[in-house]
Amino acid sequence: MIWNKCQLKHNFVFTKTYSVILMATGIQMRFKFFSFVLLILFSLQSNAQWQLRSTGNYSHDTYCFIESSDTLLAGTMNGILASIDSGNTWFPSSAGLQSDSTIFCFGKNSTGIFAGGTNSIYFSVNNGSTWTNVNNNSGTIFEFAFLNDTTFAASMGNGVLMSVNNGATWIPRNAGLGNDSVYCIVTKGNLLFAGTIQGGIFMSSNSGVNWSAVNTNLPLPIVIRSLDTDGTNLYAGTCDWLNPSISASGMYISSNNGTSWAQVTTGIPNANPVFQIKSIGNAILAGAHDVYRSLDQGANWAIFMNGISPGCTYGAGGFYATSSYVFCGIELVCIGSVYRIDRGSVLSIIEINKSSISIFPNPAVDNFIVAWENYLYKTAITITDITGKTIYSTAVTDTQKVIISTKSFSEGIYFVQIQSTNYLETKKLVIER
């Protein structure tokens, strides 16, 4: 098949990080101490690295991930694997799949999980323990998208397929698309965008009933290998292997729903195919053979490969984020094709001030609550009195709220320091009785 070279499936997860806030409320802060803490925090981030997590995974290629309940699933060239310990160990979870199934993508609605592969779409209602083939003539499926619980599948051979009944029936949605080879599909609000092999990018505002081209400034004919959005911009990853005379590849960005596109020129080589892009918050990861990261909505990129051997991979991607980690699938060459990194290590520093730390009630009597709106992994809480003496400390993981008793505290002013991997904030607490 002519398109094998661009079959890398990369799902990226981008997560939020947080700007450092130092609050000196009523006392002189010990700046040397906080400078030292900040140095440690940013050193931790800069030295963070991907770690191989492939025990039980003997596939050369891992393309995609999805989490359902407490189970993490991985789509590989040899079926589906599952992990119940955050990817440390893997075991087969392919009951119901054809023996030669390659799984390129997952999608999830309120009822269950879809898995797409070569000429088949599967559906599971039990977190991937068993699968039912709901379309054995689908063409190769590379991506799913959802408008509410309506499912759309990007098919290599059948264009865009739609199901309103969890895959029991599928309807082609190709009017105006002019192309039955669709690599990627994404929703932005109520709009659908589809990336094709030679026709570029198409948009539909009516659930795929009709499509119109949105290709201004794209060098056609170009393969649109990946699409994603951060809610503001659209990101398109391209691949020029079908037409070597077109030198432009790389990534393109649109800030106007595809009306026009601009090529990314900083950080990602224009000649590199970009197999997948995924955005969460203000951080973006992209798979363009190597892993790249942007912290400024795609304007600038830098390699983010620490821990992954470049000599071991054809391409890196298949990205997925859980509450604690980001996972990366590797394609070709290496046995053991899953890498993992702490979620906080890929977060965007510029969003830390959106964590919305709250302390209440304040003043407190017998107890108070520390709560934060956004997820902070491995959080340390330290309380000092007005002289700087530590009177309480604790460490918490996988929670967004802590209740702390103050019955043993005297009346007065205290300072509550909240510290995570790349976040530090100090709040004033008053105890009155």
Q: What is the CATH number of the domain that holds 126?
A: 2.130.10.10
Is the model more confident about 102 or about 13? Answer: 102
Residues 89 and 187 in one domain: yes
Residues 268 and 393 in one domain: no
Alpha carbon 138 to its chain's center: 26
Q: Is there a domain that residue 197 lies in?
A: yes
Q: Is there a domain that residue 36 lies in?
A: no
Q: pLDDT digits over 411-423, tens only?
A: 999 989 887 655 6
Residues 413 and 322 in one domain: no
Q: Is there a domain that residue 71 lies in?
A: yes
Which of 29-33, 72-76, 264-268, 389-393 is most confident?
72-76
What length is written for the chain? 433
Residues 6+ apart with CB under 8 A from 324: 86, 342, 343, 377, 398
Percent of the chain with pLDDT over 70: 79
Q: Is there a domain that residue 241 lies in?
A: yes
Which of 92-106, 380-394, 396-410 is most confident?
92-106
In this prediction, residue 5 carries a pLDDT of 40
Residues 6+ apart with CB under 8 A from 313: 289, 290, 330, 331, 332, 333, 334
Q: Render the burial of 137-148: b for 16+ CB within 10 Å, e for the rest.
A: ebbbbbbbbeee
Residues 410 and 344 in one domain: no
In this prediction, residue 54 carries a pLDDT of 86
Q: Is there a domain that residue 43 lies in?
A: no
Residues 210 and 275 in one domain: yes
Mean of pLDDT over the chain: 81
The residue range of the domain holding 401 is 355-431
CB 198 within 8 A of CB 214: no
Q: Is there a domain that residue 182 lies in?
A: yes
Q: pLDDT digits over 224-245, tens only?
A: 999 999 888 999 999 876 565 5
Q: pLDDT digits over 44-80, tens only?
A: 444 468 898 989 988 878 999 999 999 999 999 989 9
Percent of the chain with pLDDT over 90: 48
Residues 211 and 103 in one domain: yes
Q: Is there a domain that residue 41 lies in?
A: no
Q: Which whole number is the average pLDDT over 201-216?
A: 96
Confidence of residue 289 (pLDDT cuts 50, 70, 90): confident
Q: pLDDT digits over 81-116, tens only?
A: 999 999 999 999 999 999 879 999 999 999 999 999
| Single residue among 320, 351, 382 that ends a domain in this structure | 351
Q: What CATH number corresponds to the domain at position 367? A: 2.60.40.10
User: From CA 281, how far away is CA 263, in angstroms rounded?
Assistant: 21
Number of other residues whose CB lies within 10 A of the CB of residue 385: 15
Q: pLDDT digits over 306-354, tens only?
A: 888 766 556 777 899 988 899 999 876 556 689 999 888 887 554 444 4
Residues 293 and 414 in one domain: no
Angle at 30 between CA 29 and CA 35, to 5 degrees: 110
Residues 125 and 255 in one domain: yes
In this prediction, residue 272 carries a pLDDT of 81
Judged against a pLDDT cut of 60, whether residue 38 lies above it is answered with no
Q: pLDDT digits over 108-139, tens only?
A: 999 999 999 988 999 999 999 999 999 988 99
In this prediction, residue 246 carries a pLDDT of 58
Residues 143 and 248 in one domain: yes
Residues 242 and 255 in one domain: yes
In this prediction, residue 362 carries a pLDDT of 92
| Single residue among 351, 379, 398 that ends a domain in this structure | 351
Cis peptide before 363 (omega within 30 of 0): yes
Residues 6+ apart with CB under 8 A from 215: 200, 201, 258, 261
Residues 344 and 359 in one domain: no
| Single residue among 325, 351, 377 that ends a domain in this structure | 351
Task: Count the domains in the chain.
Answer: 2
Residues 233 and 326 in one domain: yes
